[in-house]
Chains A and B, each alone.
Chain A
Amino acid sequence: MTTAISVKNLGKQYKIGAAQGKFRYGMLRDVFVDSLTAPFRYARSLVGRSDNRQLTNGKNFIWALNDVSFDLEEGRVLGIVGRNGAGKSTLLKILSRVTEPTKGTVSVRGRVGSLLEVGTGFHPELTGRENIYMNGAILGMKRAEIDSKFDEMVEFSEVGQFIDTPVKRYSSGMYLRLAFAVAAHLEPEILVVDEVLAVGDAEFQRKCLGKMSDVAQQGRTVLFVSHNMSAILRLTQEAIVLKKGQLIKRAPTPEAVDFYLSSGQAESGERVWDVDEIPAASAPFRPISLRLQDGSGKVVDTVRSTEPVTVEWEYQLHAPVTGLRVGMYLSTMRGEYVFTTFDTDDAKQYDQFGARQAGRYISRCSIPADFFNEGRYSLGVNASSFGVKRYFMDENALSFNVDISGAPGTQWPEVRQGPIRPRLDWKIQKLD
């Protein structure tokens, strides 16, 4: 077997200082001012009075990827797991040559196709047909190659009769299917896939997974990043675990997934905030932890839709706060909001806890059984005083899976539309 990918001591450093400034991107003014004041800063540092900027200089850089090495043989499917910010996407971006490494080398044998984001280069004014050609060319396909696969792509995307309609008239589902259809027919020697499965409905996700296992069976090399452990287990033989930019484990997939889940760095149904993760502006509110518990009080990352779920948010107030409301947003992984709720929504609760003394609190919310549909949901949290200040917000604090066995209608193996799956009261009446 030949080696398809060989990664040696790979590192990527990002500057984070700039992002903390008032402006997102550099301005010439800053450069001028900076070079004008540089001699003064230098002089000041000589007399021992260094300013903040120089003290924090070392902190302004982070290694998104540090000293990662691995080889991958041709025809293997490698899973990549790790928390958000572990360096998974950075690794894929380097492999697909979107960004350059800061150190280390990679040798890649063959064409790399990437599904970093499906639909890149799609133009809303162009028709489906035109976008297939455009997008195919962007992904590196030759015109003849697109011609020969065109019908297959249209069939896969199921947008057949709308193929000559501008894609701005498409529903988001159609748009996504078409975009994935192009990318999925790229047939590169090496395919890089980043979390495509987080988008689209369950039916579409199944289709994508099917396509991916086809690709794997054709003997091509695949790198697959996902938070979905069951997809990783199903599609890959081997996996690597990344943590804070470093490769901490490489093993057969079941072992690697087990390691990842048990080493406490998986999104395990609990989110704990470190002190340095909390913006200074959130004071006097300080989030401590957010937990998801099943009916028996156990912390879980997969809940059964037939059982009630409790969400617990523990936090500290360093000073009294008036009008405080602590709550959460629930949304699907596609980004649709399901609901927003606050602990002082109820007037009685508001009278009692609207003004809160300094201290440690838990706000607890019960979500009844028979509420969730199948899939993955995201919990965002928010602490604010209405019309005064938003102390803290994290739009994606925790995500979890829902298992629907025993839910209403599961006797039919089909996808149920909609973010919720309530057990409603149906009565059937015979009229004659």
Chain B
Amino acid sequence: MTELTKHEPTTIYIKPSTGFTALNLRDLWLYRELVFFMVWRDIKVRYKQTFLGAAWAIIQPVLTMIALYFLFDRVAKLPTDNVPYPIFSYTALLPWGLFVAALNQGSRSLTSNHNMITKIYFPKLILPLASVLAGLVDFAVASVILVVLFFYYQVTPAWELLWVLPLFLLLAIITAFGVALWLSAINVKYRDVNYVLPFLTQFWFFATPVAYSAKAISEEWQLVYSLNPMAGVVNGFRWALLGIGNGPDTALWVSVGISVLILVSGLFYFRNMEKTFADTI
């Protein structure tokens, strides 16, 4: 026998859970390798049997940028804080693309892996988590275009602020993960989520200053506007990369607060629904 089976086995107690379920993040830690493998599988198979392969990670945001450019810059002539519109919109499309992909994949992660859920025990949190993290690779690939744009338009990035960029990236991931936790758990029982998702992302897109500048929002609405954590993310990206805006202010902390609230409530909701997944999926 191998040495792995020699250790003194631990005893597990199985009983009906009553009331409130604790988060049990220790289990998630024990299964950390599975998170890695799930992310790896998602990345590996994402563009299999496509002609353009990983180029899709670039094509999608670039085409969106071009469409927005014609619509909002050439036609509507929106103000962009004196930054060329392509760079202005692409700095926002990067985190937005990550967010949308994470939200969509994460919300469908339980139903698309239903055979795992009904056959094998593992912390189900792994599924939405891995789906959300897998989006980071596309994000990294798409970022290359931003570098190209900086060179092309001879814009100097705000170097001294670049180090805060990962923090805003984290905010985007936390928001996507939090919402995906809610939606994926609801999706197990109510497949309506599949139909809600396209609308949700569409409305959310207009409520986020991706195509336009956050300054277009009048002063009295700013605080309401910051209830959308993605507004904080997009403004943060523009601030860190282009030096536009004020940087961290009350509005950002409201965004962070909302995002953490969604995440924590999502974690507890998910954990409390988890015991019914295998029976209802």
Residues of A at the B interface (CB closer than 8 Å) are: 14, 25-28, 31, 93-112, 114, 116-117, 120-121, 123, 125-126, 130, 133-134, 137-140, 142-143, 145, 148, 187, 189, 218
Contact = CB atoms under 8 A, between A and B. Distances in A.
Given A96-B121, A107-B11, A130-B44, A137 B115 contact: no
B14 A110 contact: no
Among B12, B48, B113, find the residue whose CB has the most chain A CB atoms closer than 10 A: B12
B191 A99 contact: no
User: Would you list the 7 A-B pairs with minimal beta carbon distance, nearest first?
Assistant: A110-B9, A97-B121, A106-B14, A137-B37, A105-B15, A125-B48, A99-B278
B191 A25 contact: yes
Interface in B92-132: 113, 115-122
Contacts of B82: none
Size range of the chain B interface in the assembly: 35 or more
B1 interface: yes
B5 interface: yes
Contacts of B10: 109-110
A93 B9 contact: no
Nearest to B115: A120
Interface string B245-280: 000000000000000000000000000000100111
A98 B118 contact: yes
Given A93-B278, A104-B15, A125 B122 contact: no
B275 A187 contact: no
B190 interface: yes
Interface in B1-44: 1-2, 4-5, 9-17, 31, 33-34, 36-37, 41, 44
Interface string B75-94: 00000000000000000000
Nearest to B279: A99
A145 B14 contact: no
A106 B45 contact: no
B116 A121 contact: yes
Given A110-B11, A123-B41, A140-B122, 18 more contacts: A93-B278, A96-B121, A98-B278, A100-B17, A100-B275, A101-B15, A104-B16, A106-B14, A114-B121, A117-B115, A121-B120, A125-B49, A137-B36, A138-B37, A139-B120, A145-B2, A187-B2, A189-B9
A139 B122 CA distance: 8
Contact of A138 (B14, B16, B34, B275): B34
A108 B11 contact: yes
A137 B36 CA distance: 9
A229 B206 CA distance: 64
27 contacts: A14-B279, A25-B189, A25-B280, A26-B189, A28-B190, A93-B278, A97-B14, A98-B278, A100-B16, A100-B17, A102-B16, A103-B16, A106-B14, A107-B11, A108-B14, A109-B10, A112-B12, A116-B119, A120-B116, A121-B120, A137-B37, A138-B120, A140-B31, A187-B1, A187-B5, A189-B5, A218-B1
